Amino acid sequence: MEENSKGGLWTLRYTLMNATYFVAFCTIHACAAVFLLDRGFSNTEVGILLALSNIVSAVFQPFIAGIIDKKGALTNRRFIMISVIVILIGSVVLLFVKDIKVVVFAVFALIYMIQFAYQPVMTALCFEYQKAGSRINYGLARGIGSASFAFTAFFIGRFVESNGVTVLLIVNIITMALSFVLALTFVKPQSSEENSGEISGKAAHNGLISFSKAYPAFALYLVATVCFYFAHNMINDFMIQIIRSLGGGETELGYANFLQAILELPVMALIGFVLKKISSNKLLIMSGFAFLIKIVILIFATNMAMMYLSQSCQLFAYAVFIPAAAYYVSTTMDESDQVKGQAYVTSAITLGGVFSNLISGVILDHYGIKVMLITGTVVCAVGAVIGTVAMKSMKHRASS
């Protein structure tokens, strides 16, 4: 009974860290264009800022992960604490600096990049603590994180409309202050291995080539991930245009975003049970085809009911992919490579978004929504084939 209660406490604290993270993820990432346009940026300038931030983030994540994996002074927990302090201070600066565009550009780009960069570190933190004896239900915590994003997305628009974009910064400051306190008190118990001084002596694979040779199936699956998230981000980034073509508007956009985010909770919460029946590599194949079905539905959509049906595929796409990828990394890779593994997943997701940002808008402007969605479908289908080959036909680890 005492062990279960301790497990519940660890899960509660980690869940609160996820909740505060995804509230801020909504106000920083989902509302980026809203904030920057209000501060006088053009659509082109917003696109440049977000593309640059995403590219830097994709490079920065594996670099930081490599440092953390070396088991030096920079740990998962410390990097999270540094990140939330940077975002908190950056939000305070933006609260007072409104008209100096170069400062707003630099500070917002920094907090946008940092906020995305510490997402894989949050995942790695959970598995690090699990190995040290903390009973944490990762799926439940991550699912409630998605629910926090959903509810924030549902309500934040109204608050911004009535009170201005300053609301976004105030929410950032409050959630980052809470995150810092939670991380500060989230101290890892010493595992028996650490107590006895037994630390894995296996060398880390810090270079991309070395890492790919060590984990060939995973390396190829990262290519598939870029394809999946090209399609996924295409839908998210241009959802309002898709919805308007189906006769909807901003209200329906809110409903669609809320639906896909809230559906993630039950799947992620139950993923631990699912993994006892289906391996993580099979789940990753399944999620790839769910991403494909999600965008195919939109090609043939003629009303909002089909849009909501497409969004419901989130149950088997994103909601399965995120925890399955996290568990795959945790169970397949050496401890000295696991933070990098989580970071490479997020980097692949980020790169998919960057390519989508650069290509989808151009196709939309010149050829329309249907051609854009067909392009996304073709790319996603290629990803589904690559992902299946990677997980079914290749070695998960190179022979020692």
pLDDT tens digits for range 200-241? 456 666 677 888 899 999 999 999 999 999 999 888 878 878
At 38 the pLDDT is: 87
Residue 188, sorted as left (phi over 0), alpha (psi -120 to 50) or beta, turns out to be beta
pLDDT of residue 2: 45
- In this prediction, residue 225 carries a pLDDT of 97
CB 201 within 8 A of CB 336: no
Q: How much is the pLDDT for 199?
A: 42
DSSP string for residues in 238-293: THHHHHHHTT--HHHHHHHHHHHHHTHHHHHHHHHHHHHHS-HHHHHHHHHHHHHH
Tell me the one-letter amino acid at 217.
Answer: A
pLDDT of residue 211: 87
- The answer to whether 212 and 391 have CB atoms below 8 angstroms apart is no
Domain spanning 1-187, CATH architecture? Up-down Bundle (1.20)
- The first and second tokens of residue 10, run together, are 């660890």
Domain spans of the chain, in order of start: 1-187, 204-400
| pLDDT at position 34 | 82
User: End-to-end distance of the chain based on CA atoms, in angstroms?
Assistant: 42
Give the tens place of pLDDT for each residue, 243-297: 889 998 867 877 888 888 888 888 898 888 899 899 999 999 999 999 999 999 9
pTM, entire model:
0.81
Residue 177 CB neighbours (<10 A) = 14
| CA 20 remoteness from chain centre | 14
* pLDDT value of position 256: 85
The CATH H-level (homologous superfamily) assignment of domain 204-400 is: MFS general substrate transporter like domains (1.20.1250.20)
- CA–CA distances in Å: residue 151 to residues 131, 194, 257, 259: 32, 40, 10, 10
Please check whether residue 194 is in contact with residue 75, taking contact to mean a CB–CB distance below 8 angstroms: no
Q: Which two tokens stand for residue 22?
A: 């995804």
Do 1-187 and 204-400 have matching folds? yes
Long-range contacts of 88-92 (CB under 8 A, 24+ apart): 88/172, 88/173, 88/176, 88/177, 88/180, 90/114, 91/169, 91/172, 91/173, 91/176, 92/169, 92/173
Task: Identify the segments of the chain with pLDDT beneath 70.
Answer: 1-7, 191-206, 250, 399-400
Q: What distance separates the 2 farthest-apart alpha carbons in the chain?
A: 65
Q: How far is residue 348's CA from residue 315's CA, in Å, rounded to a whole number?
A: 21
Alpha helices in the chain (DSSP H): 2-25, 32-38, 43-69, 76-96, 101-117, 119-131, 138-163, 166-185, 192-195, 208-214, 216-237, 239-245, 250-262, 264-277, 280-299, 304-312, 318-332, 338-367, 369-393
